[in-house]
Amino acid sequence: MLMKERYEIRIHGLIGPLLRSRFHGMACETLPCQSTIRGKLSVDELHRLLDRLEQSGVELVYLDSGA
């Protein structure tokens, strides 16, 4: 069984409905100039999520585990 850890990821800009639909089971919050994505992920899932963000042209602002 893969260990999952809680992560908080902040990105520059807003998460629209299309991008938000790619984050199944994760909480998304829109702030004035940033968006926050929170959820439990394995290390592999985290890497896939970060790859998806990069492929979408999204700028990562902050990443924290244990959020």
Domains of the chain, residue spans = 5-65
Q: What is the pLDDT of residue 11?
A: 93
The H or E element containing residue 37 is strand 34-41
The H or E element containing residue 52 is helix 43-55
pLDDT at 24 over 70: yes
pLDDT at 61 over 80: yes
- Does this model's pTM top 0.85? no
Q: What is the pLDDT of residue 1?
A: 54
d(CA 56, CA 43): 20
- At 22, the pLDDT band (50, 70, 90 cuts) reads confident
**Topology of the domain covering 5-65:** Alpha-Beta Plaits (3.30.70)
